[in-house]
Amino acid sequence: MNLKQQAAQKALTFVQSGMTLGLGSGSTTAYFVDMLGESIQQGRLTHIKGVPTSTATAEQARAIGIPLIPLSKHPNLDLAVDGADEVDPHFNLIKGLGRALLREKIVEIHAQRFVIIIDESKLVTTLGQRGPLPLELVKFEYEVQIDWLNTLGCRAELWLEDDGTPAITDNGNYLVRCWFGNAIPDAYVLADTLARRPGIVEHGLFLDMADTVIVAGSDQVSVLEHPKGAK
């Protein structure tokens, strides 16, 4: 069992029968969704409902028998489980390299408890150390957004597929990746700046959202709880 699977398996222990769950997107969460579906099929968990954060997660969940509902039918989620691209010591996150950051954020702000599952390589001292920050933006005049982003002390590039075409989200928008060198100087200031910019739909800074971080390492799986506790 690899580290991602170990983290996903630990997250499953937080699930109880009768819960409504936010189901994240990406490779690590895919293991969790598979394990959840297996538990439902074998009768270990009953009366589970899921709210998916991407078309891919919805398709996976349906294929293994996880009942799905829209968020509007149950906006108070018991639990949301998702991966992250970076996690800092304050439980702030960079997410979105799985291309679903907008839908993930929409769903996960409704969770009473937001659980992140990662391997130890995703731990950083400051956000932006490990990789780019993804953004979702509208197609209209997207070039001016990229030019503006490059004035913020980062290198911003349109996210392209292998064939050179722009990557498209489930919402029909473009994605941009922004590299900040060694780190993002102030994630809160950056988040506020990006939120004020027309045309940028959402950013991958998930600040003050995570309650629990499950870290799979070479020696053990650790469960880190935010000092403020679950919401």
Give me the active site residues, please.
104
Which stretches within the chain are classed as H helix?
3-12, 27-41, 55-63, 101-108, 142-149, 187-195
Q: Using alpha carbons only, give the angle 78, 81, 83 rounded to the nearest 5 degrees.
A: 160
Largest CA distance in the chain: 54
State the pairing for strand pair 212-216/20-23.
unpaired
Q: Measured at the alpha carbon of residue 216, what is the angle toward residues 127 and 36, in degrees to the nearest 5? A: 105
